[in-house]
Structure 1
Amino acid sequence: MAEISNGGQMLWKLENNERVLHLRHNNIEQWRPYEEFPQYALPDPLGFSKGITTFLALLKKGWTATKA
């Protein structure tokens, strides 16, 4: 995982009946799927929500989980 900026935000969105992690660095940015951030994206174990490994890693780095 590359250098992670502080203060990022994370949100789970439902896409095609699957939970997918979305990210943004600040409130003025649009939410984007975590795969659009290759510097942060980590592979997920089979059977888990898309982005769970990235979510846990970013959470440890001080990112905030928000609700829609």
Structure 2
Amino acid sequence: MTDIPSGQMTWRPPGSSECALHLRHNASEPWRSYKDFPQYLVPDPPGFSEGYATFLALLKLNWQSL
């Protein structure tokens, strides 16, 4: 994952009951499941929350956690 734009991440977007990683590139975009971004997807170790490995990888690339 190099040369990717930074963005925002959240575990539960407003109005959602699903607790899994959601992403967007900027505040004007709707939240989408991290699975909708295969270019960023990092497989999760067994027993971890859905999207945790992707969250850590994007955090290292200066994505903002909201």
Task: Please give the range of the TM-score, normalised by the shorter of the 2 chains.
Answer: 0.7 to 0.9
Q: How many pairs were matched up? A: 62
Query: What does 1:1-68 align with in structure 2 at a 5 Å threshold?
Result: 1=1, 3-6=3-6, 8-13=7-12, 14-15=17-18, 19-66=19-66
The TM-score, its normalising length taken from structure 2, stands at 0.86
Q: 2:58 is paired with a residue of what secondary structure?
A: helix
Question: Could you tell me how far apart the structure 1 residues matched to 2:22 and 2:9 are?
Answer: 6
CA RMSD across the alignment: 1.2
- % of aligned pairs identical? 58
The TM-score, its normalising length taken from structure 1, stands at 0.83
Structure 2 unaligned spans of 5+: none
> Which structure 1 residue ranges, 4+ long, deviate > 2 Å from structure 2?
none
